[in-house]
Structure formats: C-alpha cells, structure tokens
Amino acid sequence: MAAEVETMRVRLLRAFDEEAKRNTETAVLAAEAARRAGFDYGSEDYEVALRYLLNSGYLQHVSQ
C-alpha cells in the first residue's frame, strides 16, 4: 500500500513538472496536472497526493 501511495505522489509531481515544462517558476493549472497524471481532479487520491506534495514543499500553492 505504501508503495502505491508513493507512486501516486511521484506521478502527480511529474505531471506538474511536465505541465510547467520543467520551469519551476511556471504556474500550472491543477486540473491539467491531475488529468495528465491520470487522476480525477478533486478525487480523494488526488487530494491526498497533492496535500503531501504541498506539505513537503515539492509544490507551492499560488493564488490568482
């Protein structure tokens, strides 16, 4: 189970990176990254993976 959760986290992080075209200063639409990673935007799996990435500092939330 832990390996599956880690796989989901990595998959989502890679999707954000691909959406940003590997530019750490680029804002990315979360729904697009979710789609690219194979998540349903807003699903529990997506929210858990996203929360981990935000809390760990891998991603930063930016308000418009």
Res. 39: pLDDT tops 90: yes
Task: Give 6's pLDDT tier (boundaries 50, 70, 90).
Answer: confident
Cα–Cα distance, 5 to 27 (Å, whole number): 25
**For 34-63, what is the mean pLDDT?**
92
Q: Which of 30, 62, 63, 64 is nearest to 49 (CA)?
A: 30
User: Quick one: angle between helices 2-19 and 44-55, nearest 10?
Assistant: 80
Cα–Cα distance, 32 to 57 (Å, whole number): 20
Q: Residue 37: what pLDDT?
A: 95
